[in-house]
A and B are shown apart, each in its own frame.
Chain A
Amino acid sequence: MAMIEIRNVSKWYGSFQVLTDCTTSVEKGEVIVVCGPSGSGKSTLIKAVNALEPVQKGEIVVDGVKVNDPKTNLPKLRARVGMVFQHFELFPHLTVRQNLSLAQALVLGRPQHEADERGLKYLDRVGLIDQKDKFPGQLSGGQQQRVAIARALSMDPICMLFDEPTSALDPEMINEVLEVMQKLATEGMTMMVVTHEMGFANRVANRVIFMDAGHIVEDASKAEFFGKPRSERAQQFLAKILHH
């Protein structure tokens, strides 16, 4: 059974349809990259996986649990699914250490010292242990995003969702974040990544999903996608992005 199953998902904002009949899946240990022009619905799709965006039609199943079911205990499910946002979303009123331990203590019920220890272990792994007592506002964008990744990992997630993790970063900081993500992928983490970083997709992804106007236009292996995408829209998109 796949880790993430997305079946015939449609979503509307009022009368505007943002997702149309999207179907795909992410196997355990797989890394898939979702790309496409802005407004194509890729961010909405990834936020639907942990029900930050409700969908009106179709079915999303994560590790055997149906996400869009009113009976599902959403906080419990979300605690097992790590998410990294475009704008980092560290809690600015809390120190790095508190950012890392808050949900562990509150949601998983870990004793404070244990949560602290675990958070700092992951902070060390993203290379920022020296910053543990700083506030997010005192860190660079790249550092904040690495803390955000450490925060998600501290919850021992079964899979990770990345929603344009490098889009808000200055160019010189993109690589430090991509390196952390790449390391995570080689360790076998199941990852769904919305990104425009085609280099990252080429190095790390198993599969690439191309979206346009709310449709999944292309769902192909990396070799296939970068070799010769079937759809004309994906070809145009690649041509534009790769020639930069």
Chain B
Amino acid sequence: MFGQFDFGVITRNLPYLIKVGMAFTIELTILVIVLGIVFGTLLAMMRLSSIKVLSAFATAYINLMRSVPLVLVIFWFYFLVPYIGAWIIRSPTPVRVGAFLSSVITYSMFEAAYYAEIMRAGIQSIPRGQVWAGYALGLNYWQTTARIVLPQAFRNMVPILLTQTIVMFQDTSLVYVLSITDFLGAASKIAERDGRYVEMYIFAAVVYFVICVVISFLVRRLQRRIAIIR
């Protein structure tokens, strides 16, 4: 039944699909994992802080980001960031922010809200006695957080961080609204140009599937290596 299909279209366009499309998708994903978890952890610490202003800000931020669709946030940041940039450096004209930088900022800020809730649960899962033990040895708040609480919180949360990361990896395909060519965008362009919709979209689905399976496998191995022995 696949007689009229031409899967050769994939191999012929593989360099473009990988070097342009997949390169962007992976670059964006990795940057957002790193920035998102760093911002997210800071947000979680703020939300759990006893300083009211910090926790109110973090709570408002997290709730806002989690109740708005990602596509809306992408548009919003794309049009807003140039003006915020201009305001920060006091420029009379909007700052030109490339689509790539704009998407990195958007996804990081958006995912940070989700990572923050995961890290918050992780931090709260650490018994209070661990914090006491750190303080009793003379460690200050930052030392206790960085050396005792976060390493354990992070290990406990690896499976959920993975789930969120896989969702985020798939959501990177939404950058098409900024006319950026990610992997799915590259596949679509070829599909339209050559009229090979079925082939290209099957290929894209298989690639996303394989990558997610491989990431899951690698993270599970990592998780076993860093697991806390109980």
Contact = CB atoms under 8 A, between A and B. Distances in A.
A135 B155 CA distance: 15
B228 A103 contact: no
For chain A, which range describes its interface: under 10, 10 to 19, 20 to 34, or 35 or more residues?
A: 20 to 34
Given A75-B140, A92-B229, A137-B228, A85 B152 contact: no
B132 A75 contact: no
A155 to B, nearest CB: 7
A222 interface: no
Interface string B188-230: 0000000000000000000000000000000000000000111
Contacts of A108: 138
A107 B138 contact: yes
B129 interface: yes
Contacts of A91: 130, 133, 148, 152
B229 A85 contact: no
B147 to A, nearest CB: 7
Interface in A58-101: 74-76, 78-83, 85, 87, 89-93
Nearest to A103: B137
Contact of B135 (A52, A90, A92, A93): A52
B152 A93 contact: yes
Contacts of B151: 93
A102 interface: yes
A85 B129 contact: yes
Interface residues of B, number: 20
Given A93-B152, A102-B147, A52 B136 contact: yes
Contact of B132 (A85, A103, A151): A85
Contacts of A81: 136
A45 B177 CA distance: 61
A89 B138 contact: no
Nearest to A136: B229
Q: Which of A78, A81, A138 has the most CB of B within 10 A?
A: A78
A106 B139 contact: yes
B137 A92 contact: no
A50 interface: yes
Contacts, number: 72
Contacts of A83: 132-133, 136
B161 to A, nearest CB: 16
A87 to B, nearest CB: 5
A89 B229 contact: no
Interface string B156-176: 000000000000000000000
A89 B228 contact: no
Contact of A103 (B129, B138, B152, B229): B138
A85 B131 CA distance: 12
Contact of A75 (B129, B139, B147, B230): B139
A106 B133 contact: no
Nearest to A74: B135
Contacts of B143: 106-107
Interface string A176-191: 0000000000000000
A89 B133 contact: yes
15 contacts: A50-B135, A52-B132, A75-B140, A80-B138, A81-B136, A89-B130, A90-B133, A91-B130, A91-B152, A92-B230, A93-B152, A93-B155, A102-B137, A137-B228, A152-B136
Interface of A: 47, 50, 52, 74-76, 78-83, 85, 87, 89-93, 102-103, 106-108, 135, 137-138, 151-152, 155
4 nearest A-B pairs in the assembled complex, by CB-CB distance: A79-B138, A103-B137, A89-B133, A107-B138
Given A81-B136, A107-B139, 4 more contacts: A82-B136, A85-B129, A91-B148, A137-B228
